[in-house]
Structure 1
Amino acid sequence: MADAWRLALGTLTALPVRPPGRVDRRTTRAAMLLAPLAALPLGVLVAAVLAVGVALALPPLASGLLGVGALAAGSRALHWDGLSDTVDGLTASYDAARSLEVMRSGTSGPAGVLATVVVAGLQAVSFAALVDAPLVAGALVCLSRCALWIVCCTRVPGARPDGLGASYVGTVPLPVAVVGGVLLSVTGGLAVLLLVRRVTRRFGGVTGDVMGAAIEVALAVSLLTWVALLG
C-alpha cells in the first residue's frame, strides 16, 4: 500500500514523494483505486483558494480562475495536456495510427487549445458559482478522479502497449468502475463513458492522455451539474 500511495500521489499531484519501490499490476490497480483520496490535497487547495477569494472580496470569476490555476499547478497540468492531446488526436485523422502519433507528439493544435479553453472556462465559471460552497468544489475535485476507475476498467482496452498510461489500463474491476460512475453523478459518469466509447472506436482503446482528459471533463460536467442543483 505504501508503494500504491506513492505512485498515486506522485502521478496525480505535484507533491514531492519518494518513488515507489515496486510498480506492478497490483500496485497500479491500488494506485487507481486510491486516486480520489490522493487528490484530497488538491481539493483542499481549491477550497482554500475560493474561501480566501471571498475573504478578500475578490470577484467570483477571479476566484474561479485562480482555483483552476491552482488545481493545474497542483497536478503539474498533466491532465490538461491529456485533454489537449486527446482532442487533437480525435480531430487529426480517421486513421488510428495517425491519431495516436499526433497525440504522442505532445504539441497542441487548434482543436486541443480550444477544448482546453472551453473546459477550463466551464470549470472557472462553476468554481465562481461555488465560492460560497468551497467544500463542495473541493469534494468534486476529489470525486472527479473517479473517472480513472471508468477509463481503467478491465473491460476497456488499451490503444497501445507503451506510454505513461499503459501500466494502468485494465486494472480496475468492473464493479468499482460502476461505483465510480455513480459517485461522479449521472451526468459526469455519462460524459466519461461517452469519451471512452469515442476514443475506443477511434483509437482502438484508451491511453494516458485519455485518462487526463476524462478527469478534466468529469470535473467540468460534475461542477456544472452541482451548480444547477444548488442554484
Structure 2
Amino acid sequence: MSAPHATPPTQPASPQEGLRFAFGTLTVLPVPVTRWDRGAARLGMLAAPLVGLVVGGCAAATGLLLLVLGVSPLLAAVATVAVPAVLTRGLHLDGLADTADGLGSGKPAGEALQIMKRSDIGPFGVVTLLLAVVTQVAALAQGYAESWARGAFAAVVAATAARLALTAAARTGVPAARPEGLGAAVAQVVPAGRALTVGVAVVAAAGAGGTRFGTYGAVQAAAAVVLSAVVAELLLRRCVRRFGGVTGDVFGALAETAATAALVVLVLGG
C-alpha cells in the first residue's frame, strides 16, 4: 500500500487504471498499480466501495464455509473479521490504533503526527483496537446465530460501508496533514458531489440487498450505511481539527470505525 513508481501520465486515467489503483493500494491482492497520479487516485477512491464489496464477499464466504463445516457462530465471526485484516495487512487496524494514540496524546498536531508514525502502539491504541475488534466479532456472531445469511450480509455491508468512508474522506475540502504518504496522495482527489453520488448508490444498494430480510431488513441495511457514514464523518472532522488534515492512518481509522458502526446497526432488533 505504498506509492509505486509509475510513468508520468500523458492522458486521462481509464476506469481500469482506477480499479487497479483501488485494489492495488487498498488490498494486498496482486493487482499492479500502473498509474500513480491524481487522475488514477480520483477514480480509485471513487471505486473504493467496490473494493469493500470484494473484501466483504471474501470475509462472508469464509464465515459461511466454516459454518458449513460445523464451527460455532463465534468462531465463524472471528474468521470473518480476520479476513479483511489479512487482505489489508492489518493496516486499517494499525491506522485505528495510531489515530487513537494521536488523538489521545494531548500533544500539538506536529507531535501527535510523530506519535502516529511510531511503530509501537500506546495505551489509547490498544484499548481502541480491542474494543473495535471485540465489537465486530460480537456483532457478527449475533448475526450468524440469528441467520447465516444475515451474518454474511452484514459482513458485506460493513466492508462496503468502511470503504465508502474512504471515498468521503478523499473529497475536496479535506486537506492532507502531511505532504507525503498515501493520505497526501489521495487527499482532495474526489469532487464532493461525486462522493455524495457514490454514497447514495451504496445506500440504495444496501437497502436493495436488505429486502431479502423484509422491509425492516431493507431499512436497517440502508440505515447502517448512513449511520456509519455519519460516525466516520464525525471522526474525520475531529482528526482534521486535531491534526490539520488526513493521513493514511486516519483513513484506516475511518474504515474500521465505519465498519464497526455498520455492524452494530445491522444487529439491532435481532
Match of 1:29 in 2: 42
Question: Aligned with 2:183: secondary structure?
Answer: coil
Q: Which amino acid aligns with 1:145?
A: R
Q: Which amino acid aligns with 2:100?
A: V
Match of 2:161 in 1: 143
- Which residues in structure 2 correspond to 1:109-120 (within 5 Å)? 109-120=122-133
Q: How big is the shift at 1:9? A: 0.8
Q: How big is the shift at 1:142? A: 2.0
Q: Which amino acid aligns with 2:86?
A: A
Deviation per CA, 1:52-88: give whole Å up to 9, x if none: 2321232211111111112211111111111111111
1:203 aligns with 2:240: no
Maintained 8 Å contact 1:181/1:190 = no
Q: How big is the shift at 1:10? A: 1.3
Q: How big is the shift at 1:180? A: 5.4
Maintained 8 Å contact 2:49/2:163 = yes
Maintained 8 Å contact 2:53/2:160 = yes
- Which residues in structure 2 correspond to 1:121-140 (within 5 Å)? 121-131=134-144, 132=148, 133=150, 134-140=152-158
Q: How big is the shift at 1:179? A: 4.2
Q: How big is the shift at 1:30? A: 0.5
Deviation per CA, 1:136-182: give whole Å up to 9, x if none: 42233123200012211102121111122111001111123334555
Question: Aligned with 1:172: secondary structure?
Answer: coil
Q: Which amino acid aligns with 1:163?
A: G
Deviation per CA, 1:167-225: give whole Å up to 9, x if none: 10011111233345553633211111110111111111111111011000000001110
- Rounded to whole Å, the distance in 2 between the matches of 1:203 and 1:224 is 28
Question: Gaps (5+ residues) in structure 2?
Answer: 1-14, 204-223
Match of 1:3 in 2: 17
Question: Gaps (5+ residues) in structure 1?
Answer: none
1:172 aligns with 2:190: yes
1:187 aligns with 2:227: yes
- Rounded to whole Å, the distance in 1 between the matches of 2:76 and 2:252 is 23
1:75 aligns with 2:115: no
* Alignment counterpart, residue 43 of structure 1, candidates 40, 48, 56: 56
1:62 aligns with 2:102: no
Match of 2:66 in 1: 53
- Rounded to whole Å, the distance in 2 between the matches of 1:102 and 1:163 is 16
- Rounded to whole Å, the distance in 2 between the matches of 1:181 and 1:7 is 20
TM-score by length of 2: 0.80
Maintained 8 Å contact 1:64/1:127 = yes
What is the aligned length? 229
Deviation per CA, 1:86-141: give whole Å up to 9, x if none: 11111123300000111112321111111111101111111112222213422331
TM-score by length of 1: 0.93
Match of 1:12 in 2: 26
Aligned Cα root-mean-square deviation (Å) = 1.6
1:215 aligns with 2:241: no
